[in-house]
Amino acid sequence: MKLANYIIILALGVASFSSAQTKENYISEVLVADQGDGTYKNPILHSDYSDPDVTRAGDDYYMTASSFNAAPGLPILHSKDMVNWELINYALPKQVPVEHFNTPQHGNGVWAPAIRYHNNEFYIYWGDPDFGIYMVKTDDPADEWEQPVLVMKAKGAIDPCPLWDEDGKAYLVHAWAGSRAGVKSLLTVHKMSPDGTKVLDEGRHVFDGHEAHETVEGSKFYKRNGYYYIFAPAGGVSTGWQLILRSKNIYGPYEEKVVLEQGSTKINGPHQGAWVETPKGEDWFYHFQDKDAYGRIVHLQPMSWKNDWPLMGKDHDNNGIGEPVFQHRKPNVGKLYSVVTPKETDEFTGDSLGIQWQWNANPSVLWHAKLPGNDYLRMFSIAQPKEAKNLWEVPNLLLQKFPALEFTASSKITLIPEDDEKQRKAGFIVMGRDYFTLTITEKDGEFYIQQTEAKNADKGAEEKVLNEEKLKSNTVYVKVEVSSPEATCQFMYSENGKRYKKIGKSFNARVGKWIGAKVGLFSTSLAGAKRGGYADIEYFRITK
């Protein structure tokens, strides 16, 4: 199809979308990778889909990513053209073991999953550094996934990936977390049962990265032209490179080659991701870039093969190592597809929460209500755990990823305290190792809005009120404006939804444990409070 026709079709698609977003296609106001001219710009997802992996099934592409302690976990994204992605499901409604993850376990849980399509079924393997390697599977990624299976009980085994060989034998490669195992920079291969449910031996180390490739991890297993390949990042999350290992024997010895590095670009630490081949025979590579408070965002690189070694991105300085591209033609998938992006805004008009939301721990059905016919979300004033020093340790935080370098999040919140003895609090939160809130609360029958902060919240720091202003009622409109390059945030509020006033000074969002900062909602009461109280939220919007 000619480029002019492509642009006409795309324009018609956007026009038909207009300002009322359909159920089929959500289009972000703050980031669209598809340029509408047959090209895309990196990152294709400026959200914290850390350690992404992708598999193809026919003409469909499915991505998953690390979710750590957030629930639901194991996000499932779908694409038809490898550039436009939609969040469609989670493979893990609750983290397992369930009781363990009913309290916040920052930085633990799902590490670096691998997704594979094998024998008409989809498999996801991930390493939990404290419990071992798990697997879930399904025949429909958009539907319910089976219960997780503990494939290998282990301390420190992480970043697993399966390989089913042509002879029917199955194998599993994984790395090691030094924090649990006492050693890292090792890759180990195990025999695995053909049904993928258990490893059959103690494994054999196949690569040691201590000399030249410290912190080798994130292993992905492939086979091509008689070679076994292990794609593995090395050198650290924000400073590393993409390493390729190959051998004619699954246990090695493995040859090594660095194929992607930052080079002269601004894309630091380009590594850890997925090799995908299209039905047209094109090769592509997904990887992440660590952008501090914005998290680990997703890039797409062109890829080719030379002498049975992959080449990624573009080799600008002719040193044999590729560097990330910023803009490139889209993959040739044989058809054109409409623009779509992961959901961000939630008007709370449906019967359930939007798919973009995750809780700070395994959720309880009693934390909120979304009743049919009610165009608002009710979040109940759940008492903080007695042991919680601040909101870092509170499970009922409703959060979503930062979606772009710059954006505005806004909402309308009404607080119903129902109890004068113990304070109820609700509002906005920008969550990370430091967190900041725009809190609505009640004291002696009067309502106030507060800006608070907890610096080093992950170390138990007390939350402090920095600014406080009296409100005329229990309803307030709230905003946070986020600007680049330091994820600088400014809280604002309004009592009529028209004229907004800044409250307090701006602040820089801070990363969480292995994740980017998040933005969202909370509704709590003090520890020991009687039941009662809630906040009604009319909408949560992400705009320019």
Which residues are marked as active site?
A: 51, 217
Q: Which residues make Cβ contacts (< 8 Å) with residue 116, sequence separation at least 6? A: 55, 122, 123, 124, 125, 161, 162
Partners of 118 in beta bridges: 121
Say whether 6 sits in a helix, a strand or coil.
helix
How many residues are listed for the chain in this entry? 544
Q: Which two tokens stand for residue 329?
A: 């033609």
CA angle 216, 222, 226 (to 5 degrees): 120
- What DSSP string runs through 380-431? E-EEPPTT-SSGGG-S-EEEEE--SSSEEEEEEEEEE---SSS-EEEEEEEE
DSSP state of 178: H
Q: Which two tokens stand for residue 498?
A: 């028209």
Q: Which two tokens stand for residue 48?
A: 């914290």
Give the Cα separation of 434 and 261 in Å (integer): 31
Pairing relationship of beta strands 475-483 and 53-57 according to DSSP bridges: unpaired
**CA nearest to 87, candidates 25, 163, 34, 31:** 25
Say whether 472 sits in a helix, a strand or coil.
coil
Q: Which residues make Cβ contacts (< 8 Å) with residue 494, sequence separation at least 6? A: 476, 477, 479, 500, 501
Residue 291: exposure state from Cβ atoms within 10 A (0-12, 13-18, ≥19): buried
